[in-house]
Chains A and B, each alone.
Chain A
Amino acid sequence: MSPGDLATTSDTLAWLAVLSYVVAATLFGLEFAYRPRWLGVAGLLVTVAGLAANVGAAVTRGLAVHRVPWGNMYEFSIIVGIVTVTGFLVWVHRRPEVRPLGVFVLLPAVLAMALGGLVFRVPAGPLVPALNSRWIVIHVAAAITGSSVLCLAAVFSILYLVKERMERRQRPPAPPLVAGAARTADRVEVDQAVARHASIWDRVPSSDTLDHLAYRTAAFGFPIWTFAIIAGAIWAQAAWGRYWGWDPKETWSFISWTVFAAYLHARATAGWRGRRAAWLAIVGLATLLFNFYAVNTVIVGLHSYGQ
């Protein structure tokens, strides 16, 4: 195949992946709402198919441009899809009860990829000289993996907050001191209301499990993110003659690093464990998104590779 054909194949596969993820997210969502297990299993199969298309899109893009397929924001978005979905599948493999959460993992992945395809798409092409280094393989790969995994951790933290709120609401109220007919009717009504809500949310793992998932995911992503920053510093030393210069991209990766460091500390600090720590992870997610979308496009810096 010629490079042009490969690039076209890559684009088709990327959209196929997005489409599969949308279908899978719908199936997971339906399982989440209506409970039949087969929906979730079907969703899992479609996710795996989508992942295959996603990997295919990255590989053909790489073959078309004769370099690693993460040289611009569009390609970055494709890899984000791969890492996030793979991370989710690993968790499903280790803890099957996570599966109904698929809808919450796939939708962000779909959003990232669709945004990449609609807004940041660039035709397959070579790299500008400044990016032409073997460090792009290491630094950018680590940055994509680290940030995607940390985003996944923040998604678990969001779910933790929701679930934790549900659990607090569902905690049975104290039994009435005087058992009366009216009060019993109230209780029945309350129980029914609780049951209606629960129909969706009791499928979600307990808040403790979600907190644990979020922590484990963040603890996996944080060293990778640290390594990505260090690799970036090594590259900056080779390319620009300084390993650190407070370029906006550097500043924001440092901010994300600091916030997730705070999250890891918060989980071991009395008074911060639980909800406050989860909020820190969400702030971390916001900084990661800002770093990728706003810093690349709006703020002027050495990393403005948006176009």
Chain B
Amino acid sequence: MAVELRPPAARPDRPPRRPGLGDTLRLAWREYRSMRTALVLLVVLAAASILGSLFPQEGISPQRVDQYFGDHPALAPVLDRLGLFDVFGSAWYMAIYLALLGALVACLVPRTRALVRVLRSRPPRGGDLARYRTRAAFDTPASPDQVMATARRVLRRSRYRLAEHPEGSGEPQWGAQVGRGELAGEKGYLREAASMLFHVALLVLLVGLAYGKAYGYRGQAAIVEGETWANARVGYDSFSPGRFFGPERLAPFQLRLDDFTNSFYANNTPRAFVSRLTALDLDGRELRSQRVAPNRPMTVDGVRVFQSDYGYVPVVRVQDRNGKELLAPQEVLTLRDPASEVSNGAVKVTRSTPQVGLQMVLFTGLRTGPDCPPGMDFCNDPRLSRPVLVVLAYQGDLQADRAQSVFSLDHSRLRPLGDRPLLLPPGRSGRLANGMVVSFTDLKQYSVLTLARDPGVPVVAVGAALLLCGLIPSLYVTRRRVWVRAVPAGPGTTRVELAGLALQGKPAFEGELARLAAQVERGSGGRKPGPPEDRGTLNDAKDHAAAEETRP
């Protein structure tokens, strides 16, 4: 806050003038950059953010948005139009924070100007010192010049910025004592400077955020153990590029998943999952090799590679009753349920007539009866201890020409084939009711990796660091002024008066002024017995009101 520390001077009354459009605009501009506006916008921003946490968000969980559409078919489209499923990307949310940032900049300009003005000018005269709440006075045998020299030394040591106002200088504004020689000191400019740094840091933060969003990207890819994956747009299962990100900017490298391991604690909660990844250039030369795990990403060519998820890949082969191959050994990606570690997948045999669909459930460790919690006939041990592939067969029309999930079958034109599922351990085969042979030849794992590039991160990091650097002094440094006067009071006696004004931290400042007074007293040769010390009184509302008055 830029604050005028001196009491307002009486201004001659101007003749009243009719306010014109310019005045209205100026008034509106003032109101816009006022702290009150910033305050209201902050509250509005908080309220708007609440909406973003109450409704499912497209950017965080699209499947929950779909579910919401299913559950509330009438309401959802309306909410969608209002942008409530993408609050943080919506135009009105942007309008709020841009208005806030606009107000911030609008407020920074006059604040900078005011701070520069204050730093250029000398600390002003104190006027009538008796008006200040915080005062100290004493008599000393030292001469006025000696006292002032000591005061200069003491204040300089306390890092006050000083100005000497010689006797007779200045305009006689505030009463009879004006014009006396006095020393004025001021310190605590860091508060305002730090506060401005804090607000500038918010801007830096937002610029970095926008820059990273526009030029970065984020995507997910699944790699099966032993396979090599090329960093190209088609390799990603999901890909969200920034507005100005071209796919040609994808760094040219490949990733090979050498192996994947996961482990569990005794109570079946996950303990770790680790992908051993090797990065290769396009010619297949190894760049680096690293174990990537949660909280331990790998960096390749400016792209960060994170461990996100994993799943199982049974390798399945299907033959007809004569041994003719209908489906060569195929890696079947399955979807893992994180709670039970049971995975689901589907195989679609389109070369047979009628077509056959196999729904598959993979248990990592199938347990039955006594090994399970009471009341359950079977359960699953999350460790890969006794894998069993349960195959449920269907025949009819798979409708494979229509877009559908790779993890499930479209049952609308299918009917069950046989009445019993096949239970296959790895390496075993089973015969379906129509004579087809299904073989579970191998079991692999896949790892889901998140790849992200965010060029804005360094900018955001600098912004966050500046934010903290600005925040603490802006709350704890206090701006304050001190005035010292020394006048002869009888033969061999000098009357020393100190007064001070603090904008913040008044209780602490009272102690500080007393300390300064004591130092000046000690430095100028001690106290001379004289009239009782003049302590500050509390009935001094005038300078107080002036000091509290703030301006953005």
Q: Which of B53, B267, B450, B468 has the most CB of A within 10 A?
A: B53
Q: Is A223 a contact of B49 with CB atoms below 8 Å?
A: no
Interface segment, one of A161-169, A174-182, A254-262: A254-262
Whether A222 touches B475, Cβ cut-off 8 Å, given contacts A129-B270, A238-B295, A246-B59, is yes
Partner of B36, one of A125, A219, A264, A269: A269
Smallest CB gap from B100: residue in A: A258
Q: A219 — which chain B residues lie within 8 A by C-beta?
A: 475-476
Segment with Cβ contacts to B, from A1-9, A50-58, A85-93, A226-234: A226-234
Cβ–Cβ contact A233 & B464, under 8 A = yes
The answer to whether residues A241 and B304 also contact, given A259-B46, A269-B35 and a CB cut-off of 8 A, is yes
A265 near B42: Cβ-Cβ < 8 Å:
yes
CA distance A240 to B297 in the complex (A): 9
Contact A241:B297 (CB < 8 A) given known A226-B468, A262-B39: yes
Residues of chain A at interface, number, CB under 8 A? 50
**Would A226 and B471 be within 8 Å (CB), given that A128-B270, A258-B49, A300-B61 are in contact?**
yes
CB 8 Å contact bits of A233-274 with B (1 = contact, 0 = none): 101011111111111100110110011011011101111100
Report if B91 contacts A (CB, 8 A).
Answer: no
Q: How far is the CA of A135 from the CA of B296 in the complex (A)?
A: 12
User: How far is it, in angstroms, between the C-alpha of A295 and the C-alpha of B549 when the chains are bound?
Assistant: 41
Please, which residues of chain B bring their CB within 8 A of the CB of A192?
none
Given A132-B295, A246-B88: A125 in contact with B60 (beta carbons within 8 A):
no
Binds A, one of B22-30, B134-142, B181-189, B452-460: B452-460
B38: chain A residues at CB < 8 Å are 265
Verify B39–A125 contact, CB threshold 8 A: no
B450, A268: Cβ atoms closer than 8 Å: no
The listed residue (A133, A135, A241, A246) touching B52 by CB distance below 8 A is A246
Choose among B1, B53, B273, B468 the residue that contacts A223 (Cβ–Cβ < 8 A): B468
Indicate whether A258 sits within 8 Å of B295 (C-beta atoms), given known contacts A125-B267, A227-B468, A247-B60. no
Chain B residues with CB below 8 A from A135, complex form: 295
- Chain A residue at minimal CB-CB distance from B454: A242
B423 within 8 Å of A (CB atoms): no
Q: Is the CB of B293 within 8 A of A129?
A: yes
Please determine whether A125 and B265 come into contact, CB atoms closer than 8 angstroms: yes
The answer to whether A268 touches B306, judged by C-beta atoms less than 8 angstroms apart, is no
CB distance from B71 to the nearest CB of A (A): 14
Residue interface bits A114-131, CB-to-B below 8 A is 1, else 0: 000000000001101110
**Interchain CA distance A86-B124 in the complex, whole Å:** 44
Q: How far is the CB of B56 from chain A (nearest CB, A)?
A: 8
CA of A135 to CA of B294, assembled, Å: 12
User: Does B295 lie within 8 Å of A259, measured CB to CB?
Assistant: no
Q: Which residue of chain A has the shortest Cβ distance to B273 in the bound complex?
A: A129
Q: Which of B39-67 contact A (CB under 8 A)?
A: 39, 42-43, 45-46, 49-50, 52-53, 57, 59-61, 64
**Cross-chain contact B467 with A226 (CB below 8 angstroms):** yes
Which residues of A have CB within 8 Å of B42? 258-259, 261-262, 265
Could you say which residues of chain B place their CB within 8 Å of the CB of A261?
42
List of A residues within 8 angstroms of B471 by Cβ? 222-223, 226
Once bound together, how far apart are the Cα atoms of A299 and B451, in whole Å? 27
Contact flags A270-291 to B (C-beta < 8 A → 1, else 0): 1110000000100000010000
Q: Find out whether the CB atom of A272 lies under 8 angstroms from the CB atom of B57.
A: no
Q: CB-CB < 8 A to B269: which residues of A?
A: 125-126, 128
B475 neighbours in A (Cβ, 8 Å): 219, 222-223, 264
In the complex, the answer to whether A242 meets B52 with C-beta atoms within 8 Å is no
Interface string of A198-241 (1 = CB under 8 A from B): 00000000000000000000010011001100100101011111
Q: Which residues of A contact B1 (CB under 8 A)?
A: 268
Q: Nearest CB to that of B35 among chain A residues?
A: A269
User: Does A230 lie within 8 Å of B297, measured CB to CB?
Assistant: no
Contact present for A241 and B450 (CB under 8 Å): yes
Report which of B43, B52, B209, B549 forms a contact with A251, defined as CB distance below 8 A: B52
Residues of B within 8 A of A125 (CB): 265, 267, 269
Task: Say whether B272 faces chain A, with CB atoms less than 8 Å apart.
Answer: yes
- How far apart are the CA atoms of A269 and B34 in the complex, in Å? 9
Assess the B45–A258 pair: CB atoms within 8 A: yes
B122 at the interface (CB under 8 A from A): no
Query: B464 near A230 (CB under 8 angstroms)?
Result: yes
Of the candidates A245, A246, A255, the one whose C-beta lies within 8 Å of that of B46 is A255
Minimum CB–CB distance from A122 to chain B (whole Å) comes to 11
Interchain CB contact under 8 A, A255 and B295: no
Q: Are A255 and B50 in contact (CB under 8 A)?
A: yes
Contact between A129 and B271, CB atoms less than 8 A apart: yes
Least Cβ–Cβ distance between B36 and chain A, in angstroms: 6
- A135, A239, A299 pick with most chain B CB within 10 angstroms: A239
The answer, among B53, B267, B549, for a CB contact under 8 Å with A299, is B53
B341 to chain A, nearest CB (A): 14
Q: Chain B residues with Cβ under 8 A from A222's Cβ? A: 471, 475
B177 at the interface (CB under 8 A from A): no
Q: A226-B471, A230-B464, A242-B454 are known contacts. Are A262 and B46 too (CB-CB below 8 A)?
A: yes
Min CB distance B62 to A, Å, is: 13
Do residues A237 and B457 form an inter-chain contact, with CB atoms below 8 A? yes
**Nearest A residue to B464, CB-CB:** A230
- For B64, what are the chain A residues with a Cβ–Cβ distance below 8 Å? 300
A247 to B88, alpha carbons, bound, how many Å? 11
CB–CB B39/A266 < 8 A: yes
User: Across the interface, do B39 and A246 meet the contact criterion of CB distance under 8 Å?
Assistant: no
Q: Which residues of A are found within 8 Å of B45, using beta-carbon distances?
A: 258
**Whose C-beta in chain A lies nearest to the C-beta of B269?**
A128
B158 at the interface (CB under 8 A from A): no
Q: A241-B218, A251-B53, A252-B53 are in contact. List 5 more A-B contacts (CB 8 A).
A: A125-B267, A222-B471, A255-B50, A272-B36, A300-B64
**Complex A-B, nearest 9 residue pairs according to Cβ-Cβ distance, in ascending order:** A241-B452, A133-B295, A262-B42, A258-B46, A269-B35, A129-B294, A251-B53, A241-B306, A219-B475
- 22 A-B Cβ contacts within 8 A? A126-B265, A135-B295, A219-B475, A226-B468, A230-B464, A237-B457, A241-B452, A243-B454, A243-B460, A246-B52, A246-B59, A246-B88, A248-B53, A251-B49, A259-B43, A261-B42, A268-B1, A269-B35, A269-B550, A270-B549, A280-B43, A295-B53
Q: Could you list which residues of chain B lie within 8 angstroms of chain A, going by C-beta atoms? A: 1, 35-36, 38-39, 42-43, 45-46, 49-50, 52-53, 57, 59-61, 64, 88, 209, 218, 265, 267, 269-273, 293-295, 297, 304, 306, 450-452, 454, 457, 460, 464, 467-468, 471-472, 475-476, 549-550
